[in-house]
Amino acid sequence: MCATCGCTDELSGLGEPGEPGLPDHEHGHDHGHPHDDGRTVTLQQKILAKNDDLAQRNREWLRERGILAVNLMSSPGSGKTTLLERTSRDLSGKLALSVIEGDQETALDADRIRSAGCEVVQINTGAGCHLDAAMVARALRTLDPPAGSAVVIENVGNLVCPALFDLGETARVVLASVTEGTDKPLKYPQMFRRADLVVITKTDLGPYVDFDAARFGEYVGQVSPRAMMINLSAVTGGSGMACWYDWLTSMIPARAVDVPAG
């Protein structure tokens, strides 16, 4: 088991044995034990350090090609895939968009996004609860996105472990639906602390749930004062989607795009 988060070793960010440009996986002697806090901490640091090195390589690869990479994170069911489906359809012909889809099992979400006209690479993590930089590196090589494009990395639905792993992204976007409650930023501060953009989703359900958008914004400000915020619904008229498109297209390096009117 990976001491950082409980994932299997193959999904810990250490890469695959003998893969060019990636460190060899290390077995046996370096795996800490739950009762041995010193060795566990050392292993956690080692895993994250190797992941960070690979993430920096990803970041340089993307920067050289002028590609925006967005790490899209949320709890399960917050609307990541629905948002990407609508984005793909609305920006078709205006923005070159591709997706790296992370799920523990199935290709259901990847199929949905592909049906919306978007290039997709599926990553199934099995028991793993997050994507890591090595997985993203392999997916980028498969996608081979064009210069001036955007790649959205839909991370595994989880508000804990994905926050720990740098993927080499340009920006981090955290989604939180109105159905999840107002206190999410306080309960999961690590996830929100490094967010560049926080998106409140499913706002069309606002009248039917107990959600205080103003207080949620205050909580986000407490843990991440620099984060921008957008409220939207990817269905029922698409309220707020124009703000999302404005943010997304403004982040593309040296790329002029036309955005549909909201």
pLDDT for res 7: 64
Give the per-residue pLDDT at 44.
74
For residue 107, the model assigns a pLDDT of: 97
Q: Give the pLDDT confidence score for residue 236 in this predicted structure.
A: 85
Which pLDDT score, from 0 to 100, does residue 254 have? 64
Contact present, 82 and 150 (Cβ < 8 Å): no
Chain center to CA of 254: 23
| Predicted local confidence at residue 144, as pLDDT | 96
Q: What pLDDT score does 196 carry?
A: 98
pLDDT tens over the chain, length 262 residues: 455 565 654 444 333 323 333 333 333 334 344 445 667 777 778 889 999 999 999 999 999 999 999 999 999 999 999 999 999 999 999 999 999 999 999 999 999 999 999 999 999 999 999 999 999 999 999 999 999 999 999 999 999 999 999 999 999 999 999 999 999 999 999 999 999 999 999 999 999 999 999 999 999 999 999 999 999 999 988 899 999 999 999 999 864 344 454 4
pLDDT score recorded for residue 47: 84
Tokens encoding 219? 């909580």
| Size of the chain, expressed as the number of residues it contains | 262
Q: What is the value of pTM for the model shown?
A: 0.84
pLDDT at 8: 54
- Domain positions in the chain: 67-250
Pick the CATH number of 67-250 from 3.30.360.10, 3.40.50.300, 3.30.420.40, 3.40.228.10: 3.40.50.300
At residue 176, the pLDDT reads 98
What pLDDT sits at residue 10?
A: 45
